[in-house]
Amino acid sequence: MKVDYIVAEIGSTTTLVTALNVKKDNEGRVYVEIPFQGESCTTVLDGDVTIGLKDAIRHIEREIGDTLTWDKIMATSSAAGGLKITVHGLMEQMTVKAAREAALGAGGIIKMVTSGKMRKSDLKAIRNIDPNMIIIAGGTDYGERETALYNAELIGKENFNKPIVYCGNIENREEIKEILNNEELYIIDNVYPGIDELNVEPARKVIQEAFEKNIIKAPGMSKIKEMVKGSIMPTPGAVMESTKILYDIIGDILVFDVGGATTDVHSVTEGSSVVLDMLINPEPKAKRTVEGDIGVFINSKNVIDLMDIRDLDGFTKQYVREHIKAIPIENKDINASIMLTRKAMDVAINRHAGVIKRKYGGESGFIAYGKDLSKVSYIVGTGGALTRIKGGEELLGGIRYLKDEVTMLPRKGAKVLLDRDYVMACAGVLSKENKEAAIALLVQSLGID
């Protein structure tokens, strides 16, 4: 059987492969044939993720009773530790935050953040982390210059042999080129060009390009280019791409991706004008947070530790521990997975959304910190925990704020959509090759009219 595309999502525990054909109806509208999907254990620990990738393709072949061939194969990956990034800027709530937002939105896992001039201990920490990428920021355009140059000098002398992204004060560009002339260097627009001004999209784009170029250096990924001839993206970055596409179709959106190791939250919304007037620091329109310690399988222990009597539905923590499964099938296992998923979502949304606080002192009123989700029209669920277990829609609806007070959480009018075919990551990387097909795939999976 011949298909147009194979898209592999190589996760920390499972490799999911989607095979699809792109068609046009009689009126010339693009649609995607119901995709075939196969899965296998991720084989990064075997030193070669293509073993699991081939096993997942064979799973499809067993289902269809035929050999599978394709025009192009693409992939997303969070295996081998994902896209590990360290970020080094000037001010914590300004350039550091902007660079961090860019890295997260591109699908990165932030392993270290520093503000101000770095120390020798910071360099030692970078070497221990062994990141996939280093980001240097600092200074608004035509503002402070010294810190970014100082940090670049220190980093350059260490010969980390890692891609370095510079996204600070544009006045430093020539000096940065000279300092880091022996490194794989990407110089892009400042992520914080002016006070209260974020510019994260150029950095996100180049971070993903650098990831694709360097993914073959990650443990277990050296043979990936033997099979994958198309785009390779960090899985969270691909989900963010799909989230931005959906924003253009249906408006302000919030996406939960609950996995075995992490829980990601993506949002694309400007927020309300009321809250914007109260914000202390600017927030990006497209924001991602990742809870690297919160998952329903590998990191389930951390979720259980956070649970209290209200989360357990009359059961015990021991009951949940005894029924944790990577792919729950029995009712007791499903019940435990639902409780873990609900708690993971609760923790993640409260870390993603901002808060409103009353001002004290001479001037009365309120101030706001963080991301405003109150104008979100749609709450979307993807990932195995929400799409493969019954009750995903109810869990998504449960995060809405049902009272009438001013809040930065989604309101009771927000509608719930489920990624029924589990294709958001798939559509994100597909959009790099065929955006029309990616849109059609998302519309079909989410049941958008």
**Got the DSSP string for 365-389?**
SEEEESB--TT--EEEEESHHHHSS
Question: What would the mean pLDDT of 269-294 be, rounded to a whole number?
Answer: 90
Q: State pLDDT tens for residues 214-241.
A: 888 888 888 898 899 889 999 899 999 9
Where is average pLDDT lowest: 62-66, 84-88, 252-256, 272-276?
A: 272-276
Determine whether domain 2-80+222-227 maps to CATH 3.40.50.
no
Q: What is the pTM of this model?
A: 0.89
pLDDT at 22: 94
**3-state DSSP assignment of residue 397:** helix
CA proximity to 258, closest of 287, 297, 305, 284: 297
Q: Does residue 362 have a pLDDT over 70?
A: no
Alpha-carbon gap, residue 290 to 238, rounded angstroms? 14
Q: State pLDDT tens for residues 393-402.
A: 999 999 998 8
Residue recorded with tokens 């020539």: 174
Domain boundaries, the chain: 2-80+222-227, 83-217, 235-418
Question: What would the mean pLDDT of 115-130 be, rounded to a whole number?
Answer: 96
**Mean pLDDT of the chain, nearest integer:** 92
Q: State pLDDT tens for residues 332-360.
A: 999 999 999 999 999 999 999 999 888 77
**3-state DSSP assignment of residue 78:** coil
Q: Does residue 408 have a pLDDT over 80?
A: yes
pLDDT at 78: 82
Alpha-carbon gap, residue 262 to 417, rounded angstroms? 21
Q: State pLDDT tens for residues 145-154.
A: 999 999 999 9
**Domain 83-217's class?**
alpha beta
- Residue 102 in tokens: 């860019």
pLDDT at 298: 85
| Pair 105, 247: CB distance under 8 Å | no
Same fold: 2-80+222-227 with 83-217: no
pLDDT at 438: 96
